[in-house]
Amino acid sequence: MPLRNRLAGEANINMHNFPSFNKKALDFEANIGHGHNPMTDGRKKSLLPNWKAKGLIMFVDNDGSTIELDDEFQAGVGSEAGSVEASRGVVVVAVAQKGVVEREVVHAIEIISRSNIPKGGIYQMSRGELDELRRQLKELVEKCWIRPSVSPYGSPVLFVPKKKEGTLGMCIDRDLNAINVKNREPLPRINDLLDRVQGCRYFSKIDLKSGYHQIANWPEDQHKTAFQTRYGLYEFVVMPFCLCNAPGTFQHIMNRIFHDYLDKFVIVYLDDILIFSKTVEEHVAHLDKVLSLLRQHKLKINGEKCEFGRTRVLYLGHEISAEGLKPDDAKVANIRDRPRPQSVT
């Protein structure tokens, strides 16, 4: 059955309390179909039985381009990934990934002249924080995102709670930001972005996995990101979350990638991508273009947070649908449900 027919037939399926298309229909077809002529016979391609041990799951196109999926998304499709039907010359394989992808734009760190370099002591951590520190250091070293350092720089490291994920994010303290020359790369105005989606009926939201860590630091500046821990001195090969100019660098890269389609059928705020369309046919074509660009630029998506083919979606604190915009109910619940005053004082 053609994708557009399947989507149309499933438009009333309820997912996460929103009317939406069936997720699988888009996950396995819109992600990998790009409209080129078939290059295979369309028979099923079998993966090795231990494909999970081989590395990350990845959609591989017939021209060799790929789009990777994160571990959580792999778990969701693992029962079906051993035998995935090829669609238009595309197969699913497990490919190990380490290091960082080479890009035209990297993150540079310019230090204010005559500044004192950061070299404070390490902070005290609880036993739980030390366990988390060891785990994150091991993971980041294995991914080649950090490495042991001999830099004269040495900012303390600390943890910042991530409320949505319920996890701890490792950050370099503010000392490096205090001596960093600030750039003026603007972030989009949220009101302007939301104005672009008016009148559309179908939406897909894509979140990038560890988006900042997919961008490399300029090699000559990597030593400036050195941070002190209980277990030694390390430096970032990739862009850490906490640098003051990191949002500007990331938004600049996203704007370059999606330049031809911005405000036409896609808007991007840092690592949050929204595709919007008026018809099912348009939406499939728009998704195809966006996913092709992600493959081309080797950007890894967070399947756990992606939503495809929705008629109602939450984006940047707003609920978006064909009926218009309204604030996310969770954001206003405390005010709406606040008890009525019982006295005049």
Q: How many residues does the chain have?
A: 345
Phi–psi pair at 278, nearest 5 degrees: -95, -25
The full set of domains in the chain, from first to last, is 94-335 (3.30.70.270)
DSSP state at residue 124 = P
Which 3 state secondary structure label does DSSP give 129?
Answer: helix
Region of 16 on the Ramachandran plot (φ > 0 left; ψ -120 to 50 alpha; else beta): left
Mean pLDDT confidence for 142-152: 93
Residue 13, CA distances (Å) to 17, 21, 23, 28, 212 in order: 10, 6, 10, 17, 34
Q: Which of 224, 243, 235, 238 minimizes the C-alpha distance to 182? A: 243
Q: Which of 214, 273, 267, 217 minimizes the C-alpha distance to 245? A: 217
Mean pLDDT confidence for 10-37: 38
pLDDT at position 242 is 84
Task: Examine the pLDDT at 36 and tell me if it is beyond 70.
Answer: no
pLDDT at position 288 is 92
DSSP state at residue 96 = -
Task: Examine the pLDDT at 45 and tell me if it is beyond 60.
Answer: no
Side-chain half-sphere exposure of 137, counting CA atoms within 13 A:
22
> In sequence order, which residues have a C-beta less than 8 Å from that of residue 150 and are 6 or more positions away?
233
Residue 300: Cβ within 10 Å count: 21
Q: What is the pLDDT of residues 232-291, one digit of tens each?
A: 999 999 998 888 999 999 999 999 999 999 999 999 999 999 999 999 999 999 999 999
Count of H-run helices and E-run strands, the chain:
10, 19
Task: Examine the pLDDT at 35 and tell me if it is beyond 50.
Answer: no
Q: What is the pTM of this model?
A: 0.69
Mean pLDDT confidence for 141-165: 87
pLDDT at position 38 is 33
Least confident of 49-58, 109-118, 167-176, 304-313: 49-58
